[in-house]
Structure 1
Amino acid sequence: SLRHGSEFALWIAFMYLCDRTDLVPRGAKHTDPRSFWLLWLAICVAAACSLRSCRSPKVLAREQTEEWKGWMQLMFLLYHYFAQGQLYNAIRIYIAGYVWMTGYGNFLYYRKSGDFSAVRMCQTLFRLNFFVVVVCVALRNEYMLYYIAPMHTLFTLFVWLALRVAKDRNGDDAVAAGKIVATLAATALLYDVEPVFKAAFGWRPLRDLVAFHDPLHPEFSDELHEWHFRSGLDRYIWIFGMACALGLPYLERRLGALAALDDGARRVAAHGAAACVALAPAVAWVALVFLKDKYAYNALHPYTSWVPVACYIVLRNLTPGLRSKYLHLFTFLGKVTLETYILQFHIWMKTTGLNGSPKFLLVVVEGHFWLNFAVVSAVYFFVSVRVFRLTVALRDALIPDDGD
């Protein structure tokens, strides 16, 4: 663990040198949409060449959810790198997809394993927050700059709490459904009644954790504004994830029944009908919600983000062939989303300083954008993978399983 800690400290120092010193120059962002889409096309072609078979071709297999995280994360990163603001609404859906997985994955785990131990929770919180906290200390940034971490932490704790109460009855579908409804009501009360939100998050030291002072937007005098806005956008989608986890056996049975149809023509027709049922609300959502400007869209996002998420889940798992394959490139990158999210600020791009956003590019090869992009990206992804592995190693050393 000493070796792991030493290497981890080395990468923190490297990050500081890249972002907070003038040793590495900075440059303006390359905002050409054509470059963005051509690069994305090339990445998709490369990913298609990494097609593999799942170990267990079930609905929402682990390889598939990692793949989902991977391609969303790559587009999210390129959205920042190329400053493609016109994709804002799509990026909001991708973030909702991540948060959906928080509710879905944790609900499945706690309901199946019944492991509500302090060790398990500490391991989870360490994985979500250790790297973030070290970066905040090293760069003197506020925790909320990396809002994904506190948001996932809060919703993870909420899922744990919902299932920890009367845990012996979690196997009863009616009780589990009642817990989901109660969680929905409590979340609505927390976020939609302002005095409740301020009472919940306005006390110290919790307020200090989620407060944010944005140097680019000093007009936001309420230090809880950013937390309410960011976490509030996805305040319900994780609960939909819990509901999907509860309904997973039903979806598996229905998709299995379609695949079991003997007549090929009937099977194709049934799959086509199921696809139409999934696509119909998604098409309406695109026309009525997705195409709005970002401000109008934000107002509707908390209540409608489940529509494209549900559509994607059904279409991605519609046939046995779709369920049995995954794109390894995206799956691999899906495992390091936390690290790539944080390090994009500091060794792929450069921030404006204290609590700053990544408004500039890191430049090591001046005058050659694509060569610089290749070099910086290679270093960035290498460091992200190393930090991921080091964080896991440190977690296992510092918080071993009960039996170790």
Structure 2
Amino acid sequence: MASNSSWPRVATVLFSAIFLVTIFLNSIFSVDPYRCGALIGDGQWIDPVDANGTRRPFNTWQPDGCMMRKYTSDDIHRCMEGRHMVFSGDSTTRQVFWGMARLLDRELANKTRRESATHAAYDMEFGGIRMRQIWNPFMDLDKDGVELKKELELYRHERENPVPVSEQKAAALTMIGFGSWWALRYFEEESLQQFSSAIDNVTAILRQQDYPKFGQRPMIPGDGIGNEVFIAPIAPPYYDDLPSKRKGPKGLHVGEVESMDEYLDSVRDERSLNLLWAFPALSRTEPAAMVDRHETGFHVIDSVAETKATILLNARCNAKLDAMDGYPHNRTCCTNYGGPSLVQLMFLFFGTCYVIACFLAKASKMFVYDEFTVMTAICALVFLFTIRRSRVAPQPDTIAPQKAPEVNVLLPRDQTEEWKGWMQAAILVYHWTGASKDLGIYIFIRLLVASYLFQTGYGHTIFFLKKKDFGFKRIAATMLRLNLLSCALPYVMGTDYMFYYFAPLVSFWFMVVYSTLAIGRQHNDNLGALLGKISISAFITYVVMMKSPVPEWGFTVLRLLCNIKWDLHEWTFRVGLDAFIVFVGMLTAIAHVRYPNACAWALSSYVGAVGGLVAMYGYYHACGEYFPTKEIYNSWHPYISWIPILGFIAVRNMPGPAQFFTSSAAAWLGRCSLETFTLQFHLFLAADTKGVLRLGMFSGDSTLFNDRWRDLVFIVPIFLWVSSRLAEATGALVKLATDGTVGQEAENESEKLWSVNSKFDELVLARVRPLMPAMHTWANDLRVRVAMMFGAMWVLNLLS
């Protein structure tokens, strides 16, 4: 039986093995490798319902297992590349035609629709893209459908004889949808017979029976899935709501439409048809999605018609645009994410080899306020139930007085770890629920980020003033600890360093603190000089980062020399948003070091606690009164965020038992907060933060209470465990990189390698031996090791 100490390693290897086996099985046996079937299959609306239980206007459709992309006119242009689109069938297909037209040019589409005949063919341009609507409700390929027949034959010809995109004549996207007119005008037996005959005629032209199924075909370089023909099943009406005139012998009967759809499904695999089962699913359980529920029962409201058009675009264009745009991958349906780069393949290969070596050698988002509240409350309960004593309160003097433990430290480690922990929990809930839409929650999270940066300024200033250690090893250890994970992930995930913005932000401010205190360090004992240095540093940092072209120059140099393409606007926004809170942290640290009694009175007394409560309440009231938008608040945030932060510190350090108790769960999370913040982008969220990770094992309405809580039960423990293990691993790697040396044993090993076996060896050794001390010196030099790391990253960037 394995000892307790071996269980973490066993668990790590076991988890890695399961992970690799899962990837292998999914790659080999998956019937939907690109999630195309998930896109055109089932799904649900995730728009929150109103007080009456109505979900209008139906804006957010969530396929089962992937995330859709919202398409702009420019996106559609890039996908079509001069090719046209074809829509043919009855009035339900015409609705999708107009929905697509609105996505291209809403104003022109609405005007043209009002002026156009109803039951007619259209050949129009919207936003520079040609669109054909071939009116053919009975799918007659000899009369009304002659033009459709030509389009289908051209599609088949180019599929069998591929030509470059620039030479293609076929439609990039063709949609066929019919059957409702037979159901409305024929006897039940006749409608199915006529429908099946029409389907047979269409599939006889397509001749796709030997063609791989949609979503399983290899992607076409430069064009994604390539040109496709999609067939839309009929959405059954709400039979009970139909008027009596629609229920006659030749009217609609229960099961009539369903029998047509069953026929489609029965020939789908045999004839390799692309069936849009998502279309009937859009209105299957949502009567409000229908515009004529009490008339024909087949037509949807405009927003649902646009969703149908968006599903078509996601099926046709996602893989193409994903290869063009790269990350952020905010669309996961019907795409291969553009394929891995050479560097990603290298990291995957070596990572797999490492796990094998272990065996061989060692044996979407839709914000709902209630969901944010409930998840935050759950985290708070967990933290409260794990409150434990962390420090000993001062004891009264005894006969033999001993040195009392240090209890008057402002913000001791146990408190800062706890603070980081519950802040990280709130940030995770915030990102998972998409709560940025709520201004109050957004302001709260902005204060949490500012609090972390306050701790950065405070903690590092305390260290430098007390330890006076400004050596290179301190810089290297801190920067490696902050950046190891966020520098490695871009090579594996195809993102970039700035995507994990918190590590770059904290690293930047650490270097600001270091530079401020290291330059003229001999004057750090002079309070006036120290305050002057901080003032100058704040002024220079703000002017250089916010008012000068220096950041733009720096990013340009990185792009030209290192192939690093960072978002300058996003970076300056992040830096400017918390431009001064780090300096407030530094000033607080100076006050605590130089004037501990005064600082304790202000931030560790009943007077300070009352003042803190007043400050936090006043801040809350002022935000609600004077900051109606994010933009207005953001403009004030750099100058006022310190008020509630110092207020919280005063309340948290109020004299009494609370000073000596902390939540062990929150502190544990705080110790791996950097890893959880970074890994959340891939192990907790999805689509590069635009959606949430799901297992795909459960189905429901995508709400927390009725559906997604089951995913969280599995995902959260794994996510937190991986984060904790990575935090430990990062610490060990940093120690190895900064403390590792090549000692005498290594020298002895090298001597063995250079044993003299011949006269030639003796001559070679005579020339090499003088260089060996220098080689060992370089290997032991931390600056050389860091330079080698930068060199390796430079090469990887050039290869990316």
Alignment TM-score, normalising by the size of structure 2: 0.43
Question: 1:165 aligned to 500, 519, 533, which one?
Answer: 519
Task: Tell me the SS of whatever aligns to 1:363.
Answer: coil
Question: 1:104 aligned to 458, 461, 472, which one?
Answer: 458
The alignment status of 1:125 with 2:442, answered yes or no, reads no
The answer to whether the Cα contact below 8 Å between 1:26 and 1:360 also exists between their aligned partners in 2 is no
**For each residue in 1:134-164, what CA deviation from the matched residue of structure 2 results, as whole angstroms up to 9, or x when unmatched?**
1011112111111111111111111111111
> How many matched pairs?
373
The answer to whether the Cα contact below 8 Å between 2:581 and 2:642 also exists between their aligned partners in 1 is yes
Which stretch of structure 1 is more off in the superposition, 281-290 or 107-116?
281-290
The alignment status of 1:143 with 2:479, answered yes or no, reads no
**For each residue in 1:49-91, what CA deviation from the matched residue of structure 2 results, as whole angstroms up to 9, or x when unmatched?**
2112233543211100111111111010001111112111111
The alignment status of 1:230 with 2:574, answered yes or no, reads yes
The answer to whether the Cα contact below 8 Å between 1:162 and 1:183 also exists between their aligned partners in 2 is yes
Counterpart position of 1:317: 653
* Higher RCO by CA contacts (8 Å cutoff, separation 6 or greater): 1
Output aligned runs, 1:76-95, within 5 Å: 76-85=427-436, 86=438, 87-95=441-449
Paired with 1:257 and 1:229, the residues of 2 have a C-alpha distance of 36
Tell me which amino acid in the other structure corresponds to 1:244: T
Output aligned runs, 1:140-289, within 5 Å: 140-199=494-553, 201-204=555-558, 211-212=565-566, 223-249=567-593, 252-254=596-598, 271=606, 273-289=607-623
Question: 1:293 aligned to 623, 629, 646, which one?
Answer: 629
Question: How much has 1:211 moved relative to structure 2?
Answer: 4.5
Counterpart position of 1:220: none
Counterpart position of 1:266: none
Counterpart position of 2:693: 361
Tell me which amino acid in the other structure corresponds to 1:390: A
Task: Tell me the SS of whatever aligns to 1:326.
Answer: strand
Task: Tell me the SS of whatever aligns to 1:399.
Answer: helix
Paired with 2:541 and 2:368, the residues of 1 have a C-alpha distance of 40
- The verdict on how the C-alpha distance between 1:128 and 1:357 changes in structure 2, with shifts beyond 3 A counting, is same
Tell me which amino acid in the other structure corresponds to 1:313: I
Question: How much has 1:252 moved relative to structure 2?
Answer: 4.1
Paired with 2:520 and 2:532, the residues of 1 have a C-alpha distance of 12
Tell me which amino acid in the other structure corresponds to 1:142: D
Which stretch of structure 1 is more off in the superposition, 192-201 or 288-297?
192-201
The alignment status of 1:116 with 2:470, answered yes or no, reads yes
- The verdict on how the C-alpha distance between 1:209 and 1:297 changes in structure 2, with shifts beyond 3 A counting, is farther
- The verdict on how the C-alpha distance between 1:189 and 1:30 changes in structure 2, with shifts beyond 3 A counting, is closer
Task: Tell me the SS of whatever aligns to 1:286.
Answer: helix
Which stretch of structure 1 is more off in the superposition, 42-51 or 78-87?
42-51
- The verdict on how the C-alpha distance between 1:158 and 1:104 changes in structure 2, with shifts beyond 3 A counting, is same
**For each residue in 1:212-241, what CA deviation from the matched residue of structure 2 results, as whole angstroms up to 9, or x when unmatched?**
3xxxxxxxxxx4111111121112111111
Output aligned runs, 1:29-40, within 5 Å: 29=365, 31-40=367-376
Question: How much has 1:350 moved relative to structure 2?
Answer: 1.2
Question: 2:674 aligned to 313, 324, 338, which one?
Answer: 338
The answer to whether the Cα contact below 8 Å between 2:681 and 2:689 also exists between their aligned partners in 1 is yes
Question: 2:723 aligned to 384, 396, 402, which one?
Answer: 384
The answer to whether the Cα contact below 8 Å between 1:211 and 1:227 also exists between their aligned partners in 2 is no
Question: How much has 1:201 moved relative to structure 2?
Answer: 4.9
Question: 2:419 aligned to 62, 68, 72, which one?
Answer: 68
Paired with 1:402 and 1:124, the residues of 2 have a C-alpha distance of 19
The answer to whether the Cα contact below 8 Å between 2:603 and 2:650 also exists between their aligned partners in 1 is no
Task: Tell me the SS of whatever aligns to 2:662.
Answer: strand
- The verdict on how the C-alpha distance between 1:228 and 1:51 changes in structure 2, with shifts beyond 3 A counting, is same
Paired with 2:603 and 2:502, the residues of 1 have a C-alpha distance of 38
Tell me which amino acid in the other structure corresponds to 2:722: V
Paired with 1:232 and 1:397, the residues of 2 have a C-alpha distance of 35
Question: How much has 1:320 moved relative to structure 2?
Answer: 3.9
Aligned-residue CA RMSD (Å) = 3.3
Alignment TM-score, normalising by the size of structure 1: 0.82
Paired with 1:91 and 1:258, the residues of 2 have a C-alpha distance of 25
Task: Tell me the SS of whatever aligns to 2:388.
Answer: strand
- The verdict on how the C-alpha distance between 1:208 and 1:93 changes in structure 2, with shifts beyond 3 A counting, is farther
- Structure with the larger helix share: 1
The answer to whether the Cα contact below 8 Å between 2:490 and 2:497 also exists between their aligned partners in 1 is yes
- The verdict on how the C-alpha distance between 1:121 and 1:22 changes in structure 2, with shifts beyond 3 A counting, is farther
Tell me which amino acid in the other structure corresponds to 1:61: P
In structure 2, stretches of 5+ residues that fail to align are 1-8, 28-32, 36-63, 68-363, 392-405, 700-706, 744-800
The answer to whether the Cα contact below 8 Å between 2:616 and 2:648 also exists between their aligned partners in 1 is no
The answer to whether the Cα contact below 8 Å between 1:364 and 1:376 also exists between their aligned partners in 2 is no
Task: Tell me the SS of whatever aligns to 1:141.
Answer: coil
The answer to whether the Cα contact below 8 Å between 1:289 and 1:300 also exists between their aligned partners in 2 is no
Paired with 1:191 and 1:289, the residues of 2 have a C-alpha distance of 27
Paired with 2:23 and 2:585, the residues of 1 have a C-alpha distance of 40
**For each residue in 1:168-222, what CA deviation from the matched residue of structure 2 results, as whole angstroms up to 9, or x when unmatched?**
222332222222111111122123313344345543369969843xxxxxxxxxx
Paired with 2:519 and 2:499, the residues of 1 have a C-alpha distance of 32
Question: How much has 1:358 moved relative to structure 2?
Answer: 3.6
Question: 1:50 aligned to 386, 391, 407, which one?
Answer: 386
Paired with 1:25 and 1:374, the residues of 2 have a C-alpha distance of 18
- The verdict on how the C-alpha distance between 1:39 and 1:259 changes in structure 2, with shifts beyond 3 A counting, is closer
Paired with 2:600 and 2:524, the residues of 1 have a C-alpha distance of 25
Paired with 2:65 and 2:571, the residues of 1 have a C-alpha distance of 32
- The verdict on how the C-alpha distance between 1:321 and 1:207 changes in structure 2, with shifts beyond 3 A counting, is farther
**For each residue in 1:329-381, what CA deviation from the matched residue of structure 2 results, as whole angstroms up to 9, or x when unmatched?**
11110011111111111111212xxxx33423332532242121110001100
Paired with 1:187 and 1:258, the residues of 2 have a C-alpha distance of 29
Larger Rg: 2
- The verdict on how the C-alpha distance between 1:210 and 1:161 changes in structure 2, with shifts beyond 3 A counting, is farther
Question: How much has 1:288 moved relative to structure 2?
Answer: 2.9
The answer to whether the Cα contact below 8 Å between 1:60 and 1:323 also exists between their aligned partners in 2 is no
- The verdict on how the C-alpha distance between 1:281 and 1:199 changes in structure 2, with shifts beyond 3 A counting, is farther
Tell me which amino acid in the other structure corresponds to 1:204: L
Paired with 1:289 and 1:202, the residues of 2 have a C-alpha distance of 38
The answer to whether the Cα contact below 8 Å between 1:259 and 1:319 also exists between their aligned partners in 2 is no
**For each residue in 1:254-308, what CA deviation from the matched residue of structure 2 results, as whole angstroms up to 9, or x when unmatched?**
4756999xxxxxxxxx72x433333344333333346532111111111111111
The answer to whether the Cα contact below 8 Å between 1:29 and 1:361 also exists between their aligned partners in 2 is no
